[in-house]
């Protein structure tokens, strides 16, 4: 019942949740109604579209933590019984960021099981507290209690332009000068979009978005073909080769990325997860060129 509630809460759509759970929609509707009856209060608003209400969001947090502890206990018992190395579930906003340390980890521990998840920073917080993932590499803060973190990298974020763009010859540019220029950006929720929206909003400006996507590592390529300009981190300037782009400093101290590793405090981490944490925190991120992406 509780796992079915979480699916409906996440999707806020009964038919899609029923399809994902492989149950009949009428049966799922009765399950949710029975749960609300036991709690004595609705968990969803049903005016037009199904929406998780404030009570539902509160209950979801408790359910995620409770089921997360149960799943963690199950994994711990299985690994203790088998004397196994265990698996590590690692989440990141883009996989290109973690290719270097991941390569080193797999070479050192070839029999380890690594499960990768791509998600936004907002989703990472929920998934960590629910113990659906062990470690998260995030480029934006993950607020809330119950988490521990280690800073991996603090780096400059550059304006990336097509090589023949009017700003390409500049060494730096102000945010005011960028008003009206077409931007290539990640979708809302990703760190690049948050930085872009934040530095523009500080000047009562709104960026002109002409292209947005879910894969931040592709932004430099889309900029290189002439779609617009965009914000790209320093690590990409060092690892992306072959793109016909120029790199210009943005005159704003807030135009930076802080890459941080997060994990749950007090939660169970398998031996594999602890070793992956050591690999990530011990990696020389400032010198990382192992994820070089050639675009030509």
Residue 37 belongs to a domain:
yes
Asked if residue 130 and residue 49 are part of one domain, the reply reads no
Question: In the chain, how many domains are there?
Answer: 3
The pLDDT, as a whole number, for residue 218 is 77
Per the CB < 8 A criterion, the answer to whether 223 and 184 are in contact is yes
Whether residue 36 is contained in a domain is answered as yes
Question: Given this model, what pLDDT does residue 159 score?
Answer: 96
Helices (H), the chain: 2-11, 14-21, 25-39, 54-82, 99-108, 121-129, 175-178, 191-201, 219-224, 234-239, 271-282
Residue 28 sits in the same domain as residue 142? no
pTM of this structure: 0.69
| pLDDT for the residue numbered 243 | 63
Residue ranges making up the domain that contains 201: 154-257
| 75 part of a folded domain | no
What is the reported pLDDT for 283?
Answer: 93
Residues 142 and 215 in one domain: no
pLDDT tens by residue, the chain, 296 residues: 888 888 888 888 888 888 888 889 888 888 988 898 889 999 998 887 888 999 988 888 888 777 777 776 676 666 655 555 678 999 998 888 898 999 999 999 888 889 999 988 888 988 888 888 999 999 988 877 778 999 999 999 999 999 999 999 999 999 999 999 999 998 888 888 999 999 999 999 999 999 988 776 678 888 988 999 999 998 887 776 656 889 999 999 999 999 999 998 877 788 889 999 999 999 998 886 554 443 33
Q: Would 99 be classed as within a structural domain?
A: yes
Residue 48 belongs to domain with CATH number: 1.10.10.10
**275 Cβ contact list (under 8 Å, min separation 6):** 88, 105, 109, 112
Task: Kindly state whether residues 251 and 164 are assigned to the same domain.
Answer: yes
Contact status, residue 210 vs residue 184, Cβ threshold 8 Å: yes
In a domain, 77, yes or no: no
Residues 173 and 248 in one domain: yes
Are both 262 and 241 inside the same structural domain? no
SS (H, E, C) 49-82: CCEECHHHHHHHHHHHHHHHHHHHHHHHHHHHHH
Q: Is residue 76 part of a domain?
A: no
Cα–Cα distance between 59 and 79 in angstroms, integer? 30
Question: What pLDDT score does 78 carry?
Answer: 63
Q: Do 247 and 232 fall within a single domain? A: yes
Tell me, yes or no, whether 221 and 89 share the same domain: no
Q: Helix H segments across 183-233?
A: 191-201, 219-224
With respect to residue 163, please indicate whether it lies within any of the assigned structural domains: yes
Residue 242: CB partners within 8 Å, gap ≥ 6? Answer: 294, 295, 296
Q: Are residues 51 and 197 in the same domain?
A: no
- Burial of 10: CB neighbours in 10 Å, binned 0-12, 13-18, 19+: middle
pLDDT in tens, 93-129: 888 889 899 999 999 988 888 999 998 888 898 888 8
Residues 55 and 121 in one domain: no
CB neighbour list of residue 264: distance below 8 Å, 6 or more residues apart:
128, 129, 131, 134, 146, 147, 148
Tell me, yes or no, whether 67 lies in a domain: no
Instruction: Tell me, yes or no, whether 49 and 183 share the same domain.
Output: no
What's the confidence (pLDDT) of residue 76? 66
Question: How far is the C-alpha of 99 from the C-alpha of 142, rounded, in Å?
Answer: 22
Q: Based on the domain organization, do 253 and 285 belong to the same domain?
A: no
What's the CATH code of the domain at 233? 3.40.190.10
Q: 67: number of CA atoms within 13 Å, CB side? A: 18
């Amino acid at each position: 019942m509780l796992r079915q509630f979480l699916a409906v809460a996440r999707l806020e759509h009964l038919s899609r949740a029923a399809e994902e759970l492989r149950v009949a929609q009428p049966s799922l509707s009765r399950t949710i109604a029975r749960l609300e009856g036991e709690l004595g209060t609705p968990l969803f608003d049903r005016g037009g579209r199904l929406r998780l209400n404030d009570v539902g969001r509160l209950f979801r947090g408790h359910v995620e933590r409770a089921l997360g502890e149960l799943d963690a206990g199950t994994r711990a018992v299985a690994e203790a019984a088998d004397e196994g190395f265990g698996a590590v579930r690692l989440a990141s906003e883009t996989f290109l960021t973690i290719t270097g340390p991941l390569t080193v980890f797999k070479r050192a521990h070839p029999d380890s099981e690594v499960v990768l998840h791509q998600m936004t920073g907002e989703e990472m917080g929920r998934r960590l507290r629910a113990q659906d993932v062990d470690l998260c590499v995030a480029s934006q803060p993950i607020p809330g209690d119950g988490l521990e973190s280690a800073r991996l990298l603090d780096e400059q974020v550059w304006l990336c332009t097509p090589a023949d763009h009017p700003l390409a010859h500049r060494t730096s540019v102000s945010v005011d000068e960028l008003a009206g220029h077409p931007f290539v950006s990640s979708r809302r929720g990703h760190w690049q979009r948050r930085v872009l929206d934040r530095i523009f909003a500080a000047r009562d400006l709104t960026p002109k978005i002409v292209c947005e996507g879910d894969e931040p590592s592709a932004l430099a390529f889309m900029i290189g073909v002439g779609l617009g300009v965009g914000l790209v981190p320093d690590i990409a300037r060092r690892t992306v080769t072959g793109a016909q782009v120029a790199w210009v400093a943005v005159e704003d101290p807030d135009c930076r990325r802080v890459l941080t590793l997060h994990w749950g405090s007090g939660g169970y981490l398998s031996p594999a997860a602890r070793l992956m944490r050591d690999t990530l925190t011990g990696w020389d991120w400032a010198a990382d060129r192992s994820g070089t992406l050639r675009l030509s």
